[in-house]
Amino acid sequence: MGALDPTNNQTVGELHGKIGHGRDYEDVMPLTGVYHGGLEHDLGVHVAINRELLSSNGRTPWSPSVTLSGRRRIRSGFLTGFIIDLASLRSFSDCAQEFEEGALINLTSKRHLLVALALLATFVLAPAALAQTEEEQPATPPVSTLTVSTPFPSVAVEPGDQVSYALTVAAPAQAAVALSLEGVPEGWAAAFRGGGFEVDSVTAGPGLEPELTFDVTVPTSAAEGDYPMTINASGGGQSVALDIAVRVSAQAGGEVTLTPNFPGLRTPAGEAVTFDVELSNGTPADLEFELSPSAPAGWDVTAELSGQAQASVVQVEAGGTETINVEVTPPLTAEATQYPVTLQATAPGSTVETEMIVEVTGSYSLEMTTADQRLNAEVTVGSTSDFQIILTNTGTADLDNVVVGVTPPTGWDVAFDNQEVPIPAGETVPVTATITPSEEAVAGDYVITFTATHEQADAEMEIRTTVNPSAVWGIVGIAVIALTLAGLAWVFRRFGRR
């Protein structure tokens, strides 16, 4: 089954022409976009229709075309036997009236007329309506005299730097303009450059915008101060002078700075601390810096560009800033005091250094054990037993208030001779625990958990405790046995043989 023409309720035949192929109308829209312009404007189109020569079989050749504004030709296929030249038609009514008056050759059917008008609206009127009216850029007003100008006639540089002035040369008529200099200090290098060459003259005139610079190199031995110079230009019978000045100053080129986010940080021994250091390049040139961090012997210190591990060289653009991460790790044996850490950034002709302070608060570590290193004890029901605990500060910082605690079995009681004790760094403190088992405790093993707690460190120890029966029950047993034996002796004596 062939393609369908739903608009005219018929299948596609020889009176149809394919102008696009796509999934839907959006794929073959002849015009898209946004129209920008006024609310009112006139559109003009002229349509001239001429019959083509018939072929030998009396049928019109199947190769009509449409010409838009005399330039663009679009294959149409469905305007059988005609060439339509579209130039200027004021409205559809004008076109229809010309058809009615016979000024144009009638199409073969009304359907052809509708197709022609639809094509006219699609390819002529719509583009004209959507065409954007571009605003004309105001032309540069012509100059009446020869002029030479630069946006920055006075600049400041450091000794040894180079400065480049951008020059604009304009003339009322095209002419070769000769250039010369006055007042260039001795030992300075100065030249006009254009197109990659050193030049002595430039062609200027209406519509000409030659690229021209005046480059000055200041020697490193130049003294600080102001140095005026004059650029002379002559051409087309006119002459003009431009006064410029170079100020030499050691601070003119900007400076490089290293600024840490915090001048000092505090950390326990053995734990890393990171400084964020801003490396700012205030000079007019891009610089490549090599980073060199330093710290006390035995410390680990690294410096790298933020987000780029292992990068020891940093490229900083002129006027730019980069963040350097300096990570410092003191050893576990570091004493509690302040230590200096430095970062140096070196670039050609520039070296900066900053110092940071790391305050080591010492390491915090606590151990709990027994005097004989045994983790078991024995107790007897009905009596108390002393158990000695040894607390050792294995860190490098003092522990000012260590609290000793215990978790005993149900019904048991444990007391300490000193429940809160200070422990200096590296020192050992004994604590005695008095254990009283429950009166209902039966013989067997029990677990007692001892703890030592500080804000910075803690320790824990489990003691397996064996409960022995009370001695009272032993005495009672002995007494029972003795009474039993005594009773038996009395019985034998009383009722023995007679």
Asked whether the predicted pLDDT for residue 33 surpasses 80, the reply is: no
The contacts of residue 478 (CB under 8 Å, 6+ apart) are: none
Question: Do 445 and 421 contact (CB within 8 A), yes or no?
Answer: no
Judgement on whether residues 261 and 229 belong to the same structural domain of the protein: no
Classify residue 135: in a domain, yes or no.
Answer: no
Same domain, 24 and 123: yes
Q: What is the mean pLDDT of residues 213-233?
A: 93
Give the global pTM: 0.42
Q: Are residues 273 and 240 in the same domain?
A: no
Strand order of the β-sheet with 197-199 is: 147-149, 162-170, 212-217, 189-194, 197-199
Instruction: Identify whether 436 is part of a domain.
Output: yes
Span 231-243, mean pLDDT?
93
State the residue for tokens 């390819």: 123
Range of the domain at 91: 4-130
Question: Are residues 96 and 177 located together in one domain of the fold?
Answer: no
CB atoms within 10 A of CB 72: 11
Residues 93 and 183 in one domain: no
Query: Could you tell me if 332 and 418 lie in one domain?
Result: no
* Domain containing residue 160: CATH number: 2.60.40.10
Q: 359, 361, 358: which is closest to 396 by C-alpha?
A: 361
Top-confidence range, 113-117, 139-143, 159-163, 406-410: 406-410
Q: What is the tally of structural domains in the chain?
A: 4
pLDDT in tens, 11-30: 888 777 776 777 777 777 76
- Considering the domain architecture, whether residues 282 and 205 belong to the same structural domain is answered as no
Tell me if 136 is assigned to some domain: no
Average pLDDT, the chain: 78
Token readout for 424 is 């200096």
As a whole number of angstroms, the distance between CA 402 and CA 421 comes to: 5
Q: Rounded to a whole number, what is the largest CA-CA distance in the chain?
A: 176
314 and 244, same domain (yes or no):
no
The pLDDT value recorded for residue 474 is 65
- Average pLDDT rounded to a whole number, residues 224-234: 94
pLDDT tier, 91 (very low <50, low <70, confident <90, very high otherwise): very low
Give the best-scoring range by mean pLDDT among 98-102, 127-131, 242-246, 304-308: 242-246
Confidence band, pLDDT 50/70/90 cuts, at residue 298: very high
Q: Greater confidence, 27 or 249? A: 249
Does residue 450 sit in the same domain as residue 343? no
What value does the mean pLDDT take over residues 161-182?
A: 92
- pLDDT of the residue at 134: 43
Between CA 217 and CA 222, with CA 218 as vertex, the angle to 5 degrees is 165
Per-residue pLDDT tens for 441-489? 888 999 999 999 998 899 999 999 999 876 655 666 787 888 888 888 7
Q: Whole-angstrom Cα distance, residue 75 to residue 106?
A: 21
What pLDDT, on the 0 to 100 scale, is given for residue 309?
64
pLDDT of res. 218: 92
Q: Which two tokens stand for residue 132?
A: 């954007």
Q: What pLDDT, on the 0 to 100 scale, is given for residue 240?
A: 94
DSSP class of 25: G
Q: How far apart are CA 429 and CA 417, in angstroms?
A: 12
Given the structure tokens 């964020």, which residue do they identify?
A: 276
* Residue 284 scores a pLDDT above 50: yes
Cross-strand bridge partners of residue 407: 449
Higher pLDDT, 54 or 331: 331
The alpha carbon of residue 156 and the mean position of all alpha carbons in its chain are separated, in whole angstroms, by 35
Please indicate, yes or no, if residue 142 is contained in any of the structural domains: no
Residue 302 falls inside a structural domain: yes
Q: Is residue 138 part of a domain?
A: no
- C-alpha 415/C-alpha 454 separation (Å) is 19
Quick one: 124 and 181 in the same domain?
A: no
Sign of CA dihedral 35, 37, 41, 47: negative
Tell me: do 52 and 36 sit in the same domain. Answer: yes
**DSSP label of 285:** S
CB 280 within 8 A of CB 314: no
The reported pLDDT for the residue numbered 187 is 92
Q: Is the residue at 483 inside a domain? A: no
Residue pLDDT, tens place only, 309-349: 666 788 899 889 999 999 999 998 888 899 999 999 999 87
Is residue 82 over pLDDT 50? no
Residue 409 has pLDDT above 80, yes or no: yes
Residues 230 and 305 in one domain: no
User: Is residue 140 a part of any domain in this protein?
Assistant: no
